Amino acid sequence: MSKDRRGEALSSDKVESFLSHARQVFPKRDFVVGSTKHTISDLHELELVDYEEQVRVLTEVLAEIGADNYNGPHPPKQLSDEPRCKGAKMMQFNWTSTCFDGRKMYVKLCIVDERLVLLRIHPDYEPNKFAKLARPKKT
């Protein structure tokens, strides 16, 4: 486990433990939307408007991601400010998804009261896209 400027990174074992827990609770209680602003927009942009289709896709996503796809921590303390899951540890992953036809994807999840909370799911941003935008131009 190493610490960087973004906060404390988790070990592969802790990430796998989270994923194992998520895979156990998801079939029992499905999921809830964690952010009415972001999650619903993400689902609509992916044309996932039907709840059964959302559940099917999340089942596949949980099967596709692993500790090697973990992309945290962000924010540094990894704790959500969303009312539905305030204070819960968030886990984010980037991966190339077979479910989404080979696209690079991003998903952010947490677990609250033994239920999966979906915070974000969308195509992955280009590497360093936003960091490049923030840098001053060389003159």
User: Cα–Cα distances in Å, from 50 out to 40, 44, 101?
Assistant: 11, 10, 19
Please provide residue 123's backbone torsions phi and psi, each rounded to the nearest 5 degrees: -60, 145
Express as a percent the part of the chain with pLDDT over 90.
Answer: 65
What's the chain's Rg over C-alpha atoms? 15
| Number of domains forming the structure of the chain | 1
User: Cα–Cα distances in Å, from 116 out to 26, 55, 80?
Assistant: 6, 11, 13
Does 2 map to a domain? no
At 98, which CATH number? 3.30.2310.40
Does 66 map to a domain? yes
Asked if the model's pLDDT at residue 130 lies above 60, the reply is no
Mean pLDDT, residues 92-121 taken together = 95
Pairing of strands 91-97, 115-123: unpaired
- Confidence band for 92, pLDDT divided at 50, 70 and 90: very high
Does 139 map to a domain? no
Mean pLDDT, residues 48-73 taken together = 94
What is this structure's pTM? 0.82
Does 94 map to a domain? yes
Q: Which domain holds residue 71?
A: 10-134
Does 1 map to a domain? no
Q: Which residue has the higher pLDDT, 67 or 135?
A: 67
Cα separation, 21 vs 16, whole angstroms: 8
Question: What residues contact residue 122 under an 8 Å CB cut-off, 6+ apart?
Answer: 42, 45, 46, 105, 106
